[in-house]
Amino acid sequence: MAIADEVDLTPALAALATDGWARAGRLFAAADLAPLRARLDAIMDGAAPRDGLFFQHDAASGAYEDLALGRGWIGPSRAYRKLEGLERDPVVRGWLADRRLARVAHAVVGPEVALARAVVWTKAARRDDRPGGTELPWHQDGGRFWGLSAQPPLTVWIALDDAPIDSGCVELIPGSHRGGLATPAGGVIPAARVDAARAVPAPAAAGEVLLLDPLVWHRSRRNHTAAPRRALALVLMPASTRCTRTRKAPRQFVRLYSSAG
């Protein structure tokens, strides 16, 4: 059963401010997720258009440092760790218009909401007793690399499959967002600075939504289960946010949710 619009988000918003993450509840039922999962499978299988999408495949070792950068699409595979630019796909774009997502976005970001990125993170199922997916180190989603005039305040993380601990669920260090950027560039956090003993796993059921401050320190490990672990992450920001990159033409961001309707 999906959560109705009238459910009080106040406790989740308070936890987000304090801890840098919160559970918004199971906003989506299996019937809501089925068309999105089918579309993602078709994209990875090469059976749906992929123009304008960004792909990154797992390394055979599962180690983050072994990822091959810049290769993009390498053929049909269920072992792409990242599919980005999904707002360009008409099926996914239609799914993003859901009023439940809009309500959460307005509650945190404000009346006019733009999309910084829409990414599906995939951890392929275990195969031949070898774990699937890539181990993602401790990191933050912010810094100079992002090329934005302001730090996005919200990531909406939607479990498309069950994400138990053994599947490589998200792990977070509560309150770590309050220190700002660990490094000016953002991204991966130096290992010497991480107190992993403070880490909290955040297993999730399919359809459950987590709210993250993009600056909270988080990671995910490899998938030791026989099922894939897919999640859609939407990084949201005020529509006034601008692209500050100068090497190419400034990016134009999709206005995803407007209080004007």
Query: Residue 2 has what pLDDT?
Result: 44
Those residues whose C-beta lies under 8 Å from the C-beta of residue 11, and which sit 6 or more positions away, are 22
DSSP state of 193: G
Question: Residues 137-152: pLDDT tens digits?
Answer: 999 999 998 999 999 9
pTM of the full predicted structure? 0.95
User: Does 75 score more than 90 pLDDT?
Assistant: yes
Query: Residue 260 has what pLDDT?
Result: 73
Percent of the chain with pLDDT over 90: 91
Query: Residue 1 has what pLDDT?
Result: 37
Extract the runs of DSSP E, i.e. beta strands, from 133-228: 136-140, 154-159, 170-172, 187-188, 200-202, 208-212, 218-220
Burial of 106 (0-12, 13-18, 19+ CB in 10 A): middle
pLDDT level of residue 94 (50, 70, 90 thresholds): very high
User: Does 157 score more than 70 pLDDT?
Assistant: yes
User: Does 170 score more than 80 pLDDT?
Assistant: yes
b/e per residue 118-149 (b: at least 16 CB within 10 A): bbbbbbbbbeeeebbbbbbbbbbbbbeebebe
pLDDT level of residue 248 (50, 70, 90 thresholds): confident
Query: Rounded mean pLDDT of 175-185?
Result: 95
User: Does 207 score more than 70 pLDDT?
Assistant: yes
pLDDT level of residue 249 (50, 70, 90 thresholds): confident
User: Does 3 score more than 50 pLDDT?
Assistant: no
Query: Rounded mean pLDDT of 119-148?
Result: 95
Name all domains of the chain by residue range, CATH numbers in brackets. Answer: 10-51+78-242 (2.60.120.620)
Query: Rounded mean pLDDT of 173-196?
Result: 95
Q: Which residue, among 97, 100, 85, 118, has the nearest Cα to 208 in the 3D structure?
A: 100
Half-sphere exposure at residue 27, Cβ-oriented, CA atoms within 13 angstroms: 23
Whole-number average pLDDT of the chain: 94
